[in-house]
Amino acid sequence: MALETIDLIIIAGYALALLGIALAVSREPKGRDRNTEDYFLAGRALPWWAIGASLIASNISAEQIIGQSGQGYAVGIAIAAYEWQAALVLIIVAKFFLPIFLKRRIYTMPQFLAQRYGEGVKTLMSLFWVALYTAVNLTTVLWLGGLAISSLTGWSVFGAMAALAAFAALYSLYGGLKAVALTDIIQVVILIIGGLAITWIALDALDGADGAMAGLALLMREMPGHFEMILAPDNPAYRDLPGIWTLLGGLWVLHFSYWGFNQYIIQRALGAESLGEAQKGLAFAAFLKLLTPFIVVIPGIAAVMLAQQGTIDGAAIAAQSDRTYGELMAFAPAGLRGLVFAALIAAVVSSLASMMNSISTIFTMDLYRTWRPDRAETHYVTVGRIAAFAAIAVALVLARPFIGGFASGFQTVQEYTGFIAPGVVVVFLLGFFDRRSNAAGAYTALIGSIAVNVVLKFAAPEVPFIIRIWIVFVIALVAAALVSRFTCRPDERQTVRMGDIAFATTPLFNTLSVAVIAILTGLYVWLW
């Protein structure tokens, strides 16, 4: 597919606007050096709209756009559970978790673990997260983004990945979280407009449809199997989305691990100017999550019929479902193609920038600062930039061998994340609500989660992934609670005192929460 002049103008305009805004918001007053709070937490001054937009821009990466459109093609609307259930989790995190984190004024998730369990647990989790974000999350986003751009431009996959990495580094290394979060506003606007545009084009192009809404009705009528939220056991995709267990099982564990305790997500809320702003930001993000499947999943379903009708290359998609979005983009007309291309770049670079910033924050504040505690603030900022650059360079090298051989990048990242997610959720939940929980219990949950996951994966491969995650979570929870009770009681000063934390929320947040739950209920009733 060739990009025409109008496409190139749109893409160049987007890139220049992004870099210009990043430079503008990153400037400090003359004579003032940027400290760690400025660089890693945007000076704790982020408003709700920046938090919500940045959360979604960071989340909707190539993994979502490319991976979930591919899953929409292969599985159908059931994959939207990853998005719609996340909306409810965001409300829960805002209501019950954020007050605890912001009360303690932490920079990172490992910092909370240090306060609650001690330095050993903090160090272990810091190493886990740095390795996971670098070797799995960064590599996945780079690979899927490079794959899509390669299919659209004819560039080599590595060349496309290198260009994406350089662009993300160019605007994020200097400005830190403030530059990432505020430019994410542009990213999410372009992402939503471009995503809805490709959805509209795909639906409108269906033979027998007169307009996009008619195309959606045609899809639902002709392909009912692709519009079932709860899959039957005989469905080929049941292993990935095991029916009612999608609602009752381990998907919740993955969501709480990602939205509640994931550094590159929760870091935006930690940078809020107040608890109320952080909570409104998460509620805003919850509304955007309800919209996401219409951007990333519906086009994939439409691609099934477009391939059957010979409109797009069905053979290429059948060989690798992750090529679905690239084929749809190639189908878009000139001008709109440039906008959609810019949306894809926005999704990729915003996620890369967020992950780089989070890796640098954990490495600098939780590992390096422990080893070198007496350095100047500007020194830590410099170390953070070096760490971010090193992470993206390592991911660039690892992307092809780690991710390139898998059929679905989206399911791959869920699989890898699932090894540690149950232990992470157990450690935080017990840290919040169980005053007897101690470091021995935390180690049991974290190490046991990985060990039991590996055993079940190979000893019982027939058990669906989401059910396996739930089993591991329950085992880790019980084991950690028991070990904590048979070992030393933690220092009372380390425990979370719920009486000191205000969990009350504003009427606006409560109204938004009820609206999210009502819409979510309606969607599940409609598509059950």
Same domain, 472 and 518: no
Same domain, 276 and 308: yes
Determine the Cα–Cα distance for residues 150 and 444; give it in Å rounded to an integer.
44
The tokens describing 126, both together, are 């810091």
Q: Do residues 316 and 328 touch, judged by C-beta distance below 8 A? A: no
Same domain, 144 and 244: yes
If DSSP codes are grouped into helix, strand and coil, which group holds residue 46? strand
What pLDDT is recorded for position 479?
Answer: 96
Same domain, 134 and 197: yes
If DSSP codes are grouped into helix, strand and coil, which group holds residue 272? strand
Beta carbons within 8 Å of 68's beta carbon, 6+ residues apart? 79, 82, 83, 293, 296, 297, 300, 410
Q: What is the DSSP letter of 323?
A: G
CA distances from 27 to 31, 90, 272, 339, 436 (A): 11, 32, 19, 29, 47
Task: Look at the alpha carbons of 100, 102, 105, 107 in this order and tell me if their dihedral is positive or negative.
Answer: positive
Same domain, 98 and 237: yes
Same domain, 254 and 182: yes
Same domain, 311 and 431: no
Q: Do residues 214 and 512 touch, judged by C-beta distance below 8 A? A: no
Each of the 528 residues of the chain gets a pLDDT tens digit; together they read: 567 888 889 888 888 888 888 777 766 666 556 677 777 776 777 888 888 888 887 777 766 777 778 888 888 888 888 889 999 999 999 999 999 888 888 878 888 899 999 999 999 999 988 988 898 888 888 887 887 777 777 788 889 899 999 988 887 777 777 777 777 788 788 878 888 888 888 888 888 778 888 888 888 888 888 888 888 888 888 887 888 888 887 889 989 998 999 887 888 888 888 889 999 999 999 999 998 888 888 988 888 888 888 777 767 676 666 677 777 777 778 888 888 788 778 778 888 888 888 899 899 988 998 888 888 888 988 998 899 999 999 999 888 776 655 555 556 666 777 788 899 999 999 999 899 999 999 999 999 999 999 899 888 888 888 899 999 999 999 999 999 999 988 888 778 887 778 888 888 899 999 999 999 999 988 888
Q: Is residue 297, in this structure, part of any structural domain at all? A: yes
Give how far the C-alpha of residue 387 lies from the chain's centroid of Cα atoms, to the nearest Å: 21
Beta carbons within 8 Å of 34's beta carbon, 6+ residues apart? 28, 176, 378, 381
Q: Is residue 429, in this structure, part of any structural domain at all? A: yes
CA distances from 112 to 44, 287, 431, 443, 458 (A): 17, 28, 9, 15, 34
Q: Is residue 475, in this structure, part of any structural domain at all? A: yes
Q: Is residue 414, in this structure, part of any structural domain at all? A: no
| Residue among 153, 139, 141 at smallest CA distance from 67 | 141
Same domain, 201 and 342: yes
Q: Is residue 99, in this structure, part of any structural domain at all? A: yes
Q: Do residues 419 and 476 touch, judged by C-beta distance below 8 A? A: no
| Residue among 93, 27, 5 at smallest CA distance from 55 | 93
List the Cα angle 320/325/331 in 5-degree steps: 115
Same domain, 324 and 457: no
Same domain, 317 and 425: no
- What's the alpha-carbon Rg for the chain, to the nearest Å? 22
What pLDDT is recorded for position 412?
Answer: 64
Q: Quick one: which H or E segment has residue 366?
A: none
Same domain, 353 and 477: no
Burial of 1-39, coded b for 16+ CB within 10 Å and e otherwise, reads beeeeebeebbeebbeebeebbeeebeeeeeeebbbbbb
Q: What is the DSSP letter of 233?
A: T
The CATH number that applies at residue 158 is: 1.20.1730.10
- Its domain, for residue 451, covers 419-496
Determine the Cα–Cα distance for residues 138 and 146; give it in Å rounded to an integer.
12
Q: Is residue 237, in this structure, part of any structural domain at all? A: yes
The tokens describing 483, both together, are 């070990």
Q: Is residue 20, in this structure, part of any structural domain at all? A: no
What pLDDT is recorded for position 406?
Answer: 55
Q: Do residues 246 and 466 touch, judged by C-beta distance below 8 A? A: yes
**Number of compact structural domains in the chain:** 2
Same domain, 196 and 274: yes
Q: Is residue 28, in this structure, part of any structural domain at all? A: no
